[in-house]
Structure 1
Amino acid sequence: MLFLYLFILAGVSLLLYMYIEAHRNRVIHDSIKIAKLPKSFENFKIFFISDVHKREVSEKIIKESGKADLVVIGGDLVEKGVSMKKVEDNIKRLSTIGPVFFVWGNNDYDVDTKQLAFTIENEGATILDNTNVSIKRNNDCLDLVGVNDTSLGFASLKDALKECQTSCRILISHNPDISKQINGEDNIRLVLTGHTHGGQIRVGPFGIAKRGGWYEELTHTLLVSNGYGATHLPLRLGAPSQTHLITLTR
C-alpha cells in the first residue's frame, strides 16, 4: 500500500513539474555573431517569441526584456478557441518592447485568418508573408525576411527574397524545415524559427520533434525555439517554455 501511495505521489509531482515547465516565463539572453553584419547594427537587439498558442504574454517577460530594436513573433500566435481580445492584449504588451513583426504558423490557420490579420495590423504590427522589409540604422541597413508556413505549403522563399537590398538577411520562419531550402546565394545569415516546441515532452535525448537550440548550418545560424506556449496538453518535460533576447554582434 505504501508503494502505491509513493507511486501516486510521484506521478502527481511529475505532472505538476511538467505543468510548471509549460508555464515558465523565461527570457534566454544570447549574443550571436553574424557574418557581414553592418557596423551600425553592432549590439542590435531582437526579442523573439514563437508558439504563444493560448498563453497570455507575462509582464515578467516584458520587464526582463526591456527595450529591443525589433520584436518578432515566429508564428502560432493563436490556435483554435483563442479570442482576438487576447491577440490584441499580447501584441500591445509586446509592442512596449519594440516594433512588432509577425509570420504565419500552421495553427494560426485554425482561426479566421482575415480577422487575425486585421487584428495584428490594427495593433501596429507588420505581417511578413513571403515578403521582406529593409531595417535601417544610421547609414546602414539589413533585410528582415519572413515566409509563410512551410508545413502547409504556403512558404515561398523565392518571393520573400525579392527586392532584398543587402547581403545581410535575417529570415523568420515558423518551421525550421525552411533551413533546408537556403543556399549561399540567398545571403541569409540568421534564421529564427519555432514550431517543434523542442519536442515538448522529451525523455533524455528522445523527443517527437527537433530539440530546441542553436544550430550552425553551412550558410547560416539557425535558432529552433522551444516556444512560449504548448499545444494539445499544457505540459512540458525536457523542453521548458522560453523566449529570446538576441544581441547581434559582428
Structure 2
Amino acid sequence: MSNIVEVKNLTKTLSRRMVLDNISFNIKKGSIVGFLGPNGAGKTTTIRALTGLIGVKGEIKINGILIKNRILAMKEVGAIVENPIFFSYMTAYENLMALIILDKELKKCDYKERIEEVIDIVGLTGREYEKVKNYSLGMKQRLGIAQALLNKPKFLILDEPTNGLDPIGIKDLRKLILKLNIENGITFFISSHLLDELQKISTDYIIIREGKILQQGNKKQILNEYGEESLEEAFIKIIGGGN
C-alpha cells in the first residue's frame, strides 16, 4: 500500500523549546491513523505543519508533493484544526456557498450540486437552510466536515473532533468517519484524547511525547507488543516507558 503522506526529520522550536524533535512517519493510503499523545506533546504543531500553517525544518510530502508548494499539496486535503469556523447568522447552505466560491477550479454551475452532495454525505439534508446558531454541537461538527469535503479530499485531518460531543454525537461522528473511509476511500489522521473511540475506528497509531515519536504501527502490532487488548493500557505503558 502506497503512502499518501511522508514526513521526514520534522523539527520545530518555539521560544527555544524543541516542540518537534526530528520526527518521521508515513501515512498509508486508505488508513485511519490515530495520533496520540499527552497535552503539550506536539500534536497540534504537527497538524499545523501538515496543513502548511506553520514553517518547519524537514520535509513533508502529500501525494508526493512537497508542502512548500502549499496550494498544490493541499488540493486534495481537508482539515478541521481545533474548532470549525462558521458565520452563525447564516444558514449551513450559505456557509458552504461562502466557502465554495473560493474554489477557482470549480465551475459556478457546479456549486449547488457539490454543496447538496456534501450535505447529504454528512446527514444534514433537510436542515441545511437553518441558521447555524440554532445547530447543536454535533450538527456543527458535521457541518465542519462538510466544509472540509467540498474540495473532494483524499486526506482528511481532524484535530480533537469529538470535543464537547455527547455519546450520540460521538457515535454519529464515528459512523460518518467509517463511511467516508470505506465508501469514499478517504484517509484520516485523527488527534483525540478519547482512546476507546480511536480504538474502534483506527487502523494505525502514531504516539508522540515531548516532540518525539515513541511508537508507530498498526493496531495489532502495537497492542500485541505491549500485551494489551486496550489501547488505553498500551498507551499508558508506552508513555510511561518512553525515553
Q: TM-score range by the shorter chain?
A: 0.3 to 0.5
TM-score (norm 1): 0.35
TM-score (norm 2): 0.35
